[in-house]
Chains A and B, each alone.
Chain A
Amino acid sequence: MSSNAIIALAAALAIAVSTLAPAIAQGLTAKSAMESIARQPDAAKDIRSTLIISLALMEALTIYGLLIAFMLVAKV
């Protein structure tokens, strides 16, 4: 395998793995937020803002992966 092929594979892996885990985490977060809203519709506003913040913090991990992938792709 040429080094270019390895770099391309590494870029694909970086984005794939860093999408998988946060996606699971975000799914779990959204699930429990929806359950809480269904149980207590009065608190929907507070739950929603906390939900958006936690989703954004998880999203950051994916973005780091994306960044690494772009840096690797630039080297091919």
Chain B
Amino acid sequence: MGEGSKVLFSIFGVLDVTGEVVAMWLIVAVLTVLSLLVKSRLKERPGFLQNLLETGVEYLDNFLEGLLGREKSRKYFTFLATLFIFIIVSNYSGLIPGVGLTDYVKAPTSSLSVTAGLGVVTFFFLQISGLRCGVRHYFKRFVSPMFFMLPLLVLDEFVKPASLALRLFGNVFGEETVTEELYGLLPIGAPVVMMVLSILFCALQALVFTMLTSIYLDEVTELE
């Protein structure tokens, strides 16, 4: 689990840098450089790279529009798309040969700390979006069918991001562990079975995280 990862070095003696953090830095750097590179040479007739990224963003746009409707999906597109892109790249980073084997680079989402972080961000995002749609409406939601639902509905707000975080962590960590076990069994050939399945599951988990976040968002920002 998260506690098990080896600390490579500490910043100011308090911020422990583990393999997951290094991987996150690399992912952020790669995504930023890629986006800036494509943005600096936008063309009317897109080249290969621009075409690829545009297809991805367009797919995400259509996906979120189907879930949230045009107005809301435009408003919250930046956060939800960032979440999706970061999670899917983090999940796939575990499939790069050698990534799970060293202590220096690890798939970020295979650590509970990282997914819990994503959960906390999602929690605040949901609450703030709800509050910005009207304070009265926000509090009314907690007592909407009956007054005695209050404790349950308040608890629900905390359970939602926790279950998001646990689901992502459990799936990715489970995949990584199975791949590792298979590697121990037969280093050449056996892990391929699980890695092929991982290609599907990694994308699915990123999709599920974004999808559930947007559905919770839709609930929170619903106006009668």
In contact, B166 and A63 (Cβ under 8 angstroms) = yes
Which B residues, 128 to 177, have Cβ-Cβ distances below 8 Å to chain A? 163, 166-167, 169-171, 173-174
Cβ of B194 under 8 Å from chain A: no
Bound state CA distance, A27 and B3, in angstroms?
35
Bound state CA distance, A6 and B185, in angstroms?
26
**Given contacts A63-B167, A63-B170, A64-B166, is CB(A56)–CB(B1) below 8 Å?**
no
Bound state CA distance, A49 and B67, in angstroms?
9
Cβ of B208 under 8 Å from chain A: yes
Q: Please indicate the chain B residues that have their CB under 8 angstroms from the CB of A52 in the complex.
A: 204, 207-208, 211
Cβ of A66 under 8 Å from chain B: yes
Interface size on A, residues (CB 8 A): 14
Bound state CA distance, A64 and B215, in angstroms?
22
Bound state CA distance, A54 and B87, in angstroms?
20
Bound state CA distance, A7 and B88, in angstroms?
35
Main secondary structure of the interface of A (DSSP, over half): helix
Bound state CA distance, A62 and B171, in angstroms?
10
In contact, B212 and A53 (Cβ under 8 angstroms) = yes
Cβ of A16 under 8 Å from chain B: no
Q: Please indicate the chain A residues that have their CB under 8 angstroms from the CB of B98 in the complex.
A: none
Q: Please indicate the chain B residues that have their CB under 8 angstroms from the CB of A45 in the complex.
A: 66
Bound state CA distance, A59 and B163, in angstroms?
10
Q: Please indicate the chain B residues that have their CB under 8 angstroms from the CB of A62 in the complex.
A: 170
Partner of A60, one of B1, B167, B173, B204: B167
Bound state CA distance, A70 and B110, in angstroms?
14
In contact, A59 and B171 (Cβ under 8 angstroms) = yes
In contact, A59 and B174 (Cβ under 8 angstroms) = no
In contact, A49 and B208 (Cβ under 8 angstroms) = no
Bound state CA distance, A45 and B67, in angstroms?
11
In contact, B167 and A49 (Cβ under 8 angstroms) = no
B44 to chain A, nearest CB (A): 32
Q: Please indicate the chain A residues that have their CB under 8 angstroms from the CB of B211 in the complex.
A: 49, 52-53, 56
Cβ of A38 under 8 Å from chain B: no
In contact, B212 and A56 (Cβ under 8 angstroms) = yes
Bound state CA distance, A66 and B170, in angstroms?
7
**Interface positions of B (Cβ within 8 A of A):** 1, 66-67, 163, 166-167, 169-171, 173-174, 204, 207-208, 211-212, 215
**Interface positions of A (Cβ within 8 A of B):** 45, 49, 52-53, 56, 59-60, 62-64, 66-67, 70, 74
Give me 26 A-to-B residue pairs in the complex whose CB atoms sit less than 8 angstroms apart, sorted by A's number.
Answer: A45-B66, A49-B66, A49-B211, A52-B204, A52-B208, A52-B211, A53-B208, A53-B211, A53-B212, A53-B215, A56-B167, A56-B211, A56-B212, A59-B167, A60-B166, A60-B167, A62-B170, A63-B167, A63-B169, A63-B170, A63-B171, A67-B166, A67-B170, A70-B1, A70-B173, A74-B1
